[in-house]
Chain A
Amino acid sequence: LVDTQPMQLTEEQRMVVREIASQVAIALQQSRLRTAIQRHTRDLERRVALRTGELREVNAALEQFGSSVAHDLRAPLRTLQGFADALLEDYGDRFDETGRDYAQRIVRAASSMDALISDLLTYSRLSRSELHLQSVNLQLVVEQSVAQLEQELRERNAELEVEQDMPVVRGQTTILIQVVTNLLSNAVKFMPPERVPQVRVWAEQREDMVRLWVEDNGLGIDPRYRERVFSVFERLHGSEQYPGTGIGLAIVRKGVERMGGSAGVDSTVGVGSRFWIELPAGGAS
């Protein structure tokens, strides 16, 4: 609106001008706020990138530290076990029963420690590594685990029943094999002494998830401990009776969680347990 003549504004005209001025002021304010938000957002993104970079460095350093520690711990372990074994073999006849027993205990302890380091490494790698998820044939995974445990299954006269035609899941094969191996190994290990292990493995589709069950006729787990057993270093029994690292189930849970799943157990003390893992159903990746 242009008027080249100076004039007095009427009340109505003044209202219009005030309205326009007010709108312009709001627009200006909004524009300033938008700029400020954009600046803050950029600043935040910069800070997040920095932190992420720092975290990646820390993670890489931890990974390096972890594997160096494991390697360096294994070297003296090998020496311990090697020479204890050599003592037994080469000089065993010069020991009495007690001497041989002492040497055997050293060997066993070294072996336990190695299993512990191995499981700790597996667990820590699970927390950090990149996962490549793809369609995984559960049947093959179970077969592989069973093959890995062949000797143990035979030694314990375990009766194993595995369902056929199990569905495909989305996951990572190596981790899944480790998970199922841990579950099967537990199933035949935590048994009352006189009972023959009977293990059943089957799978069921639950909407868009697949649940794999591993059922045993072992010691069972008290309801109090049903969640605790999945924690690191949680052991319910003495390591003399039932050897183990206390990390097996932690690996199971962490492993399936990293693949977008979950793990749990139903159990009755004295009767047995049913461990389950649930994973996204497979299909095209």
Chain B
Amino acid sequence: MIGPRGTILLVEDSNDDVILVRRALSKAQVSNPIQVVGDGEAAIEYLQGRPPFNDRVQYPFPSLMLLDLKLPRSSGFEVLTWVRNQPRIKYLPVIALTASRNDDDITRAYDLCINSYLVKPLAPPALSSMLRTLSEYWLRLNEQPII
């Protein structure tokens, strides 16, 4: 399910932020395929491979999930909880990519076993740099779990 050029699943409800993240990834020369879902429910459907995501050629299982914590319908925390309760999917590296530097949010995310917590920087060059480091570490250096 996980290819050598793993797919990044971006879970983000703001279309503006999706455009900015895609742009930053491209500036960072991250060539991995990117799939985007706009809310928690869709994220779970994607991971389960349920319609409309049942075609695993078009919608491969991701190597990494970038999760915004403030989402409509099924908050980021609920998605994370769900993931960590699934028999195999639970190994998926999940990184919070969020606006909140709230201490409670950070604690709660780590409590729910997030792999890493990143706060979106304001300036686009900083975002690019962050995403380049992120993909270098998690998609190339890091040993992928066997899902």
Are A and B genuine complex partners? Answer: yes
Which A residues are within 8 Å of any B CB, using their own CB?
67, 71, 74-75, 77-79, 81-83, 85-86, 89, 107, 110-111, 114
Give Cα A107–Cα B123 distance, bound, in whole angstroms: 9
Given contacts A85-B125, A86-B20, contact A78 B102 (CB under 8 A): no
| Inter-chain contact B23/A111, CB cutoff 8 Å | no
- Chain B neighbourhood of A86, CB < 8 A: 20, 23, 124
* Interface: B14 (CB within 8 A): yes
Known contacts A71-B99, A71-B100, A111 near B122 by CB under 8 Å: yes
In the complex, what's the smallest C-beta–C-beta distance from A100 to chain B, in angstroms?
16
Chain A residues whose CB sits within 8 angstroms of the CB of B100 once the complex forms: 67, 71
Complex-state Cα separation, A52 to B122, whole angstroms: 39
A124 and B16 CA atoms in complex are apart in Å by 29
21 pairs of residues in contact across A and B, judged by CB atoms under 8 Å: A67-B100, A67-B102, A71-B70, A71-B99, A71-B100, A71-B102, A75-B17, A75-B99, A79-B14, A79-B16, A81-B124, A82-B122, A83-B16, A83-B20, A85-B125, A86-B20, A86-B124, A107-B123, A110-B122, A111-B122, A114-B122
In the bound complex, what is the Cα–Cα distance between A81 and B125 (angstroms)? 11
B residues near A107, Cβ cutoff 8 Å = 123
Q: Give bound CA distance, A79 to B102, whole Å.
A: 20
Nearest A residue to B23 via CB reads A86
Do A82 and B102 touch across chains, with their CB atoms under 8 A apart?
A: no
Most buried by B among A82, A85, A86: A82
Min C-beta distance of B129 to chain A, whole Å: 13
- The 7 A-B pairs of least Cβ separation, nearest first, read A79-B16, A82-B20, A85-B124, A82-B124, A114-B122, A81-B122, A74-B99
* B124 with A111: CB separation less than 8 A: no
Contact of B17 (CB < 8 Å), options: A78, A111, A114:
A78
- Cβ contact within 8 Å between B20 and A78: yes
A5 to B51, CA, bound (A): 109
- Point out the residues of chain B lying under 8 angstroms from A74, CB to CB: 99, 122
The answer on a CB contact under 8 Å between B17 and A85 is no
Q: Which residues of A contact B20 (CB under 8 A)?
A: 78-79, 82-83, 86
A114 to B119, CA, bound (A): 14
Q: Which residues of B in the span 15-43 have a Cβ within 8 Å of any Cβ on A?
A: 16-17, 20, 23
Which single residue of chain A is at the shortest CB-CB distance from B15? Answer: A79
How far is the CB of B38 from the nearest CB of chain A, in Å?
Answer: 15
Known: A77-B122, A111-B122, A111-B123. A82 touches B99 (CB 8 A): no
Within 8 A of A (CB), among B116-130: 120, 122-125, 127
Nearest A residue to B127 via CB reads: A82
